[in-house]
Amino acid sequence: MAGKTKSGSSKGQNKRPVKSSSSGLSSKIKKAKPHKPAPKPIQQKSKSSTPSAKKPPHLRYTERELNVPQLNGIRPAGIQKPPNTKKGKIFVDDKEQMNTILAIVMAEKEGNIESKMMRARQLEEVREARKLEAEKRAQSKKAGLEEKKKEIKNKKRKRRHSNVDTTVTEDNNNEQSAIKKPRKKVTFG
């Protein structure tokens, strides 16, 4: 096979061998076509790109398109925002509206402060009441202990007096019983 040539790893040079016969040559030439990549099918878009197409959200509306009145830049001290931030309050030029809004906000703040003060006062009253109750309990305990001590002392005194009385009565009883019944004595010796 003299027609084949081997060369490196290049893919473009690997071709089929061509036969030298005249009848086969003409048929081979007709069939052999240079390989071109097939054209890519173009997909048709279902929606045409017209000016009425949807815009991205950040490009949908502008203040000029909507005819929005320009707002002033006056901001109260508590609401001032740093630059390049989304959050912030901007009030309309109407001073009466702005004053009413500020009055409402200040009233709420004062109400919150007042309610905090009221809560603090109530908590103090509760603490004082608890202290008074604790003091009363302590006094009642002390009084109870004092009474118990007095009772114990009185019992001891009564016992002493009763012991003296009982010893005297026992002695009298012993003398009377000795007189009445002579005891028998037993000695072991």
CA-to-CA separations, 172 to 29, 49, 163, 165, 180, in angstroms, rounded: 164, 137, 14, 11, 12
pLDDT at 175: 65
What is the residue whose two structure tokens read 């027609």? 3
pLDDT at 37: 74
Buried b (16+ CB within 10 A) or exposed e, 38-74: eeeeeeeeeeeeeeeeeeeeeeeeeeeeeeeeeeeee
Average pLDDT per consecutive 10 residues, the chain (189 residues; last block may be shorter): 54 57 53 68 64 70 75 66 62 75 87 87 91 94 94 85 69 64 78
Question: Contact, 81 vs 88, CB < 8 A?
Answer: yes
Tokens (6 digits) for 71: 């707002």
Q: Which among 104, 121, 133 has a CA at the least distance from the CA of 91?
A: 104
pLDDT at 149: 92
Residue 54 to residue 59: CA distance in whole angstroms: 10
Q: How far is CA 161 from the centre of its chain?
A: 74
Q: How far is CA 178 from the centre of its chain?
A: 93
pLDDT at 110: 86
Question: Contact, 31 vs 19, CB < 8 A?
Answer: no
Question: Contact, 126 vs 134, CB < 8 A?
Answer: no
Residue 73 to residue 90: CA distance in whole angstroms: 6
Domain map (residue ranges) of the chain = 89-178
pLDDT at 10: 54
Residue 56 to residue 51: CA distance in whole angstroms: 13
pLDDT at 148: 93
Q: What share of the chain is helix, strand, coil (3-state, %, to 5)?
A: 55, 0, 45
